[in-house]
Structure 1
Amino acid sequence: MTDSPLSETARSAPDTGAAERAVAAVWRIESAKIVATLTRLVGDFGLAEDLAQEALIDALAQWPVDGVPRNGAAWLTAVAKRKAIDGWRRRERLDERMALLAHDLEREQDEAADALPWDPDAVDDDVLQLIFISCHPVLSREAQVALTLRVVGGLSSEEIARAFLVPSATVQQRIVRAKKTLTAANVPFEMPAKQEHAARLGAVLGVLYLIFNEGHSASSGTDWMRPELSLEAIRLCRVLAALMPRERDVHSLLALMELTAARFPARVDAHGDPVLLADQDRSRWDRSRIARGRAALERADELGGGRSAYGLQAAIAECHAVAPSVEQTDWERIVVLYEALGRIAPSPVVELNRAAAVAMATGPASALLIIDGLQASGGLRGYHLLPATRAELLLRLGREDEARSEFAAAAALAGNERERKLLEAKAAGN
C-alpha cells in the first residue's frame, strides 16, 4: 500500500461508503484538472486518462482504510505521476522528462503539508487546452462531443449515451477511437493557433450547451432535472469567458445558462416532480443568477457583431427572467426573437418553441397551425414535446378528448420517468 505524503487524513478512518462518496465527489469536480495536468506532463492524452483512472482505483482501495486525504485531487495527481514514473522506469526510459517529472512530484510533496484543497472554480489554462484538444478537427463531431463530455465534463459513458439517445457501447467506441486518433495524429497539448479558434470554439460551446441541456431536462432516468450537470457546464463556460474575454459567443452562452438556471429552484416541487413555468413561484428564482446572466448578455452585446443563436436564446430567457408573471411576459418580443433565431439557426425545435410563444401572444388557434405543419413535415417524429405542445393547445381550445389522446402519445414517447408520469396524469384528465 502506497503511503503518500499528500495523504493528510482525518484522525479516524471513514466508513467505506463515505470514502467512496468522497472519491466520486473529487473525481466529478476535479477530473478535468487532473487529466489536463497529467496530459501536459506526460504528453499523451490517452495515457494521462489511463493514469488518472489507475489512481482512482487506488483511491477506492486506500481511502476507506487510510481516510480521505485533505486534498484529494492532489493525492490522485501525485499517485498518477508516480505511476507514470514507474512505467517509464520499467521500460528503461530514464530520460530527461522522467527526471523533470520526478523533481516536480518531489516539490509538490514538500509543499503538500500546507496545501489547501483545490478550489473547483480555479481552473487554469490546462483545462482550456484539454477542452480544445478534445475538439480537435482530426476527430468527428460525434467523437469531439463524446470525448469532451467524458474527460472534461466527467460524464459516464451511460450518461453520454442517454444524452445522445445511442447505445452505451457506441459512446465507448467513439471515445476509444478518439483517443487512438489523437495519439496517431501526435496532437500536442497546446492551444490551437488563433486562426483555428473560431472553428474549434463552436464545437466546445456545443458540448457545453449539450451538458447544460441534459441537466436542465434529463433525457431519461427517474429525476426530471440533473442540476449538477448544468452547474458544471456553467462553471466551464465561466472559465472560457475568463480566458477568452473577447469571444461574443462565450458570453452569450454563459448568459443563456445563467438566466435559465435561475429558474431551477422553482422547477421541481418537494417530491422532485416537475413544476411548469406557469405554476412556478417566481420568488424562488435566483436573482443573483439573473443579474449575472444579464451582465453576460450585455457584455456579449458590447463586443458587437449582432446577437448569435446563443445570444437570441439568452434574450428570450431574459424576457422570462424579468417578467413578474406569465401574463405580464412580453410574449410578442419573444415571438420576434424566435423568428430571428429561426432565420439564423433554423430547426424544427425552434419552430416548436415559436409556436408555444405564438399561443401566448395571439392565441392557441394560430399556434396550432404551426404545430400541425411541423407534424406533417415529420421533422420531429418521435419527439415527445410535439404531441405534448399540441395537447396543451387543444386543451385551451376546449377539445379535451383530442388533447388527452395527444398527452397519451407524448407520455409514450417520453424517456424521463417524472415527465412521463406528468403526461400520463394529464392524459387521464388529472
Structure 2
Amino acid sequence: MTLDRPRLAAALFALVACGDDSSGRESASASATAGITGLTGITSASASASTGSASDGSTGGSASSSTGGASASAGSASAGDDCVSNDDCPPGQHCTSFTGVCVDEGGCVLGEDCEGGFVCERGECSIGGDCGAMSFEITKLPPNLLVMLDRSGSMGGEIDGKTRWDIAREAVGGLVNDYNAEIRFGLDTYSACLPGGCSAGTIVVPIADNNAGAVTGFLSDKLGEGSDDGQGQGNGGINYLCDSGDPETSTGKSLQAMVGEPSLQDNERGNAVLLITDGGESGECKQGTDGPSAAGELLAQAIPVKTYVVGFSGDVNETELTAVAQAGGTDMYYQANDLDQLGMAFQEIAKSVATCDYKLDEVPPDIKKIFVFFNDDPMGIPNDPNDGWVYDPVSNTIKFVGGACTMIKDGTVYDVDIVYGCNAPIPG
C-alpha cells in the first residue's frame, strides 16, 4: 500500500522534534499531556499528537505489511496473529480494522487502525494527528456564599417546641454539609449586639474552601436563648441571641458593611450573601441606609454580590424582603415557616448559587480552536452564550450556561474535556 507523507501538526505547548535517522527517514512527534482536576469526578487524561513515518524513495513513501505482521517507523506495536474479526483474537485483544492483527484493547499497528482524530503512538491509539491536540488542566471554581443569620431576640420564638434560632442553626448545618465541596461558605451573625443597638453584623466564620466543619463548629454551642450582650453563659453553651432591649434587626447596616468585603470581591468566582431573618428591619436601624439600598450597593460593585433572602416565620414583612431580594439581583425572597421549608429554600438557593465555571491552566491563543466535551461524547458542547459554554478572557475561565450548566449541577456529567486543536474528546 502507498501512504501519503504525514503532516506534522504542532500541539499547543508541546515539544517538537525533527531529525533524519540513518536510513534517511524523517520522523517527528508532538505531544501534550494534562490531567484534569475539579469537583465533578473528572478523570485524568492525556493528549498527544504524533506523525507516522514514511520511507523516502522514488515512490514518495511507502509502508508494507506481510502475513502475520505489519511495520511502521513510528507508533507501531509488535504484530500478533492475523485476524478478520474480534472473534479471531484471544480475550482482552481486538482485531485492528486496517492491518488485521490481534492487539490489546486500544492498541494499533498503523495509524489507519485508529478512529479519526487519533494516531498510533507506541502501539496505542491516542488523540492527535494533523489537528494537534492539548487537553487543558481545569479546576472548578466554587462560588463564595456568606450566610448572614439574624440573632435578634425574636429568633427565640418557638415553632413546634424549638426556637427559630435552633431550627435555623440545624438547617444551616444541613446546607453547608450538603454543599461543602460546591460552595465556599462563611458565616455572619447580626447584629453585633453592641451597646446602643443597630450595630452591623460580624463575620464570625471567614469564607473558605470546605468550610462546613468551621460553620457547624461555631454554631454548635450557640443557644437560642437571649442575653444582654449575646454572650451570656447558658445551659451547655452561650445564650447567643441579642436581647439587649435596643433595636437589633440591623439588616441594612449589616448588608452595607459587606460592601468592599475582600472575601466577597473575588473576580474569579461568583459572590453572594444569604440573608436569613424572622422579621422586618428595625425602624431605628434604617438611618443612613436600609435593606434594599444596601443590597443594591452590593450588587452595583465592579465585582457584584447578589443577595438571597429567606424570611423565616409568619411575622416577616413580605414587601420589605421582596424589595431586598429584587435590589440584590435575585428577584424574590423565599418564605419558610418550619424546618422542612427552610431546608427546601436553602436547597433551591444553593443550586442557584453553585456555578459551572472552570479555570484553565493556560491561556488559549485562539478561542476558535477550543472544543468541549461531556462524558467523552463526540457530539461536544457548543460555544453558545445561551445553552453551551462561553470563554471569559479576564479570568481565563470556561463558563457553562443553560442546559450544559444544568447537567453539571444535576450530577449527570462525570467527565469534562476541554481540548485545544482537535474536535474530539480525550478518551478515558
What TM-score comes out, normalization by structure 1 length?
Answer: 0.20
What TM-score comes out, normalization by structure 2 length?
Answer: 0.21
Greater relative contact order structure (CA < 8 Å, 6+ sep) = 2
More strand by share: 2
Larger radius of gyration: 2
